[in-house]
Structure 1
Amino acid sequence: MSTHTHPSSAESLITAQGGRITRTRVAVLEILLAADQSLTHDEIGLALAEQGIKHDRVTLYRTLDWLVESGVAHKMAGDDRARRFGVAASGPHEHAHFHCDRCGKVVCLEGLQPAVAVNLPGGYQLDRAELVLHGACPTCGKGA
């Protein structure tokens, strides 16, 4: 009888980027994969605690940094200065985000590529661009 188990999609994503499989990396990535919006460090930490996974803030920051640096996840700054993290669906690329000004939910708009036409002064080099659209999400927009 075979006891072989298939790696989770989180494990596969980590391995594909040459990363070491750790309990925290897998759990954090599974949380991001299951989320319907970008999550803050604190929200991810709470989700880990709810799953009974012990962690410290530094390990979580390092895990999130690795996921972003490897292109598995992306981060963006919210109006509240909190960084939000989400899965980079098709690798590192520029895409837009939608921020609900009523409930604070931030979602990736994968199909909407920001058209950035920038004429930078001499010597400047653009590494990335962020586009955040503001308004009301479908839930908050009902009855408006």
Structure 2
Amino acid sequence: MPDTRPSARELIAAHGGRVTRARVAVLEVLGSAHTPLSHEGIASALEEGGETFDRVTLYRTLEWLVEQGIATRIAGSERAWNFELVDRHGHHHAHFHCQRCGRVTCMEEVAPALAGALPPGFSLAQAELVLHGACAECNRS
């Protein structure tokens, strides 16, 4: 099935934003990530791709993406945020944060279960549930 997502440039322009090198690069990193990324993880991925931005530029870029509803913030460890793109159907899933290694894993099946548990007439607009514990890999070691 072909990827029908708009390009980073198209997405930024569709939200009325200035198409900057930082916004395009961060969107591309988030779009290719399979799990939510920390500020540090995003900066590392940018450096691997030959892009470097100062911390303030990166924070402002991430804040703009969150304000526009393009990305979402997930609580991580030590008051650090992790970021991921909002999917086409809205952000309706929970996350598991491993307190040992810091990895954040998407839990797609939790939000539908929560929505099904709502009282009659209620509807779920957004799920922001973060479960904390140890991942399978850390439990094995």
* Structures share fold, TM-score greater than 0.5: yes
Shift of 1:37: 1.3
Structure 2: 5+ residue runs without aligned partners? Answer: 119-124
Which of structure 1's runs of 4+ aligned residues deviate more than 3 A?
A: 91-94, 114-117, 134-141
Mapped partners of 2:10, 2:106: distance in 1 = 22
Picking from 12, 15, 40, the partner of 1:14 is: 12
Q: Does the aligned pair in 2 maintain the 1:31–1:44 contact within 8 Å?
A: yes
What count of residue pairs does the alignment treat as equivalent?
A: 129
Q: Does the aligned pair in 2 maintain the 1:72–1:91 contact within 8 Å?
A: no
Structure 1: 5+ residue runs without aligned partners? Answer: 1-6, 118-126
Per-residue Cα deviation, 1:43-88 (whole angstroms, up to 9, x for no partner): 2112222222131111111100011011110002213211111111
Question: Is 2:93 the counterpart of 1:95?
Answer: yes
Shift of 1:132: 1.2
Larger Rg: 1 or 2? 1
Mapped partners of 1:135, 1:100: distance in 2 = 5
Higher mean Cα deviation, 27-36 or 87-96? 87-96
Could you tell me which residue of structure 2 aligns to residue 76 of structure 1? 74
- Counterparts in 2 of 1:108 and 1:14: CA distance versus 1, 3 Å: farther
RMSD: 2.9
Picking from 53, 56, 69, the partner of 2:54 is: 56
Letter in 1 for 2:46: L
Per-residue Cα deviation, 1:75-108 (whole angstroms, up to 9, x for no partner): 0221321111111112654431122334221022
Q: How high is the TM-score relative to the length of structure 2?
A: 0.73
Q: Does the aligned pair in 1 maintain the 2:72–2:83 contact within 8 Å?
A: yes
Say which SS state the counterpart of residue 133 (structure 1) adopts: strand
Q: How high is the TM-score relative to the length of structure 1?
A: 0.72
Picking from 99, 105, 108, the partner of 1:107 is: 105
More helix by share: 2
